[in-house]
């Protein structure tokens, strides 16, 4: 099953081949219609009438790739986006993880982390859970994204007002310090999060993950590409680990057989310990 079968335009496929050769990033994972919409932004900006003309732009100007990533990647995010999902994780998922944790602590993965609001929110959420339920158990968050510029912003830990419209006001004041017209993340929270560049379509670079969060990224992928990503998630997770998706996302095909519904309203699933987790 190929994750690329949804694209039929030969010029677009030629452009995709060039981008893959130059960067290792395969744009064919996206559904064709939204992919064309995003590419059109850059074609207009560079006055390219066709995909082949834009291919020539990329050949002559490698700096164009940074602007292309901005157009292709979905970077709409905020701290505690959909607060009810974070509440469900804190109140329902964390107690289970805490009860089952081994000596090495917990590992959370924010997949497609964009500019860092989600992984930092997970770190804050865990800190708040520990304040309510004192424990020596530690947690760390690994955060991955394909967009190097977003990762640089995330690592800097400095955010403007636009990132805070959903986070509870008391947490904003507690974990962020004003710095000019922006706000800096608390160093202790920042230290809990490790950022690295990785593509969802590639095998996960770690194992034994207790909680995977991948929200509002997969809806732009083809069905087959989504299945590839789900396979990588399963391979990265421990048995009984949790998966959190976006509100309009759901499990597909054989992946549904590997998970049980934990909180269907908040799109939280649990890897079924009775199902094989290494079929990738």
Mean pLDDT comparison of 1-15, 83-97, 218-232, highest-scoring range: 83-97
Residues 254, 121 within the same domain: yes
Residues 122, 161 within the same domain: yes
- Tokens read off for 35: 């992919």
**How does pLDDT run across 91-114, given as a tens digit for each residue?**
999 999 999 987 789 999 999 999
The stretch 229-244 carries a mean pLDDT of: 95
- Structural domain count, the chain: 2
Residues 157, 199 within the same domain: yes
- With respect to residue 168, please indicate whether it lies within any of the assigned structural domains: yes
Residues 90, 52 within the same domain: no
pLDDT of residue 222: 79
Q: How far is CA 150 from CA 113, 130, 267, in A?
A: 8, 29, 25
Residues 260, 122 within the same domain: yes
The CA distance from 19 to 269, in Å, is 34
Domain hosting 25: range is 10-72
pLDDT of residue 80: 96
Above 60 in pLDDT, residue 31? yes
- With respect to residue 3, please indicate whether it lies within any of the assigned structural domains: no
pTM of structure:
0.79
- With respect to residue 152, please indicate whether it lies within any of the assigned structural domains: yes
pLDDT of residue 164: 96
For residue 178, give the CATH number of its domain: 3.40.50.150
CB-based contacts of 92, cutoff 8 Å, min separation 6: 262, 263, 268
pLDDT of residue 22: 79
């Amino acid at each position: 099953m190929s994750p690329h079968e949804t694209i039929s335009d030969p010029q677009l496929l030629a452009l995709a081949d060039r981008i893959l050769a130059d960067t290792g990033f395969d744009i064919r994972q996206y559904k064709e219609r939204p992919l064309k919409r995003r590419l059109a932004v850059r074609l207009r900006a560079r006055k390219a009438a066709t995909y082949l003309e834009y291919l020539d732009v990329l050949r002559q100007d490698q700096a164009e790739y940074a602007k292309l990533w901005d157009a292709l990647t979905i970077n709409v995010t905020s701290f505690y986006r959909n607060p009810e999902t974070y509440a469900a994780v804190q109140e329902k998922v964390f107690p289970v993880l805490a009860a089952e944790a081994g000596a090495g602590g917990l590992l959370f993965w924010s997949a497609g982390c964009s500019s860092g609001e989600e992984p930092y929110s997970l770190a804050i959420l865990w800190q708040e859970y520990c304040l309510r339920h004192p424990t020596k158990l530690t947690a760390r968050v690994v955060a991955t994204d394909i967009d190097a510029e977003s990762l640089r912003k995330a690592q800097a830990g400095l955010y403007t007002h636009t990132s805070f419209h959903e986070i509870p006001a008391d947490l904003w004041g507690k974990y962020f310090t004003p710095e000019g017209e922006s706000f800096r993340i608390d160093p202790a929270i920042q230290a809990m999060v490790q950022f690295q560049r990785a593509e969802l379509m590639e095998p996960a670079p770690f194992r034994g993950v207790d909680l995977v969060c991948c929200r509002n990224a997969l809806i732009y992928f083809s069905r087959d590409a989504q299945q590839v990503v789900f396979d990588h998630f399963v391979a990265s997770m421990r048995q009984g680990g949790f998966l959190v998706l976006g509100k309009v996302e759901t499990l597909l095909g054989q992946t549904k057989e590997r998970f049980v519904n934990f909180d269907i309203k908040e799109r939280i699933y649990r890897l079924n310990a009775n199902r094989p987790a290494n079929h990738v």
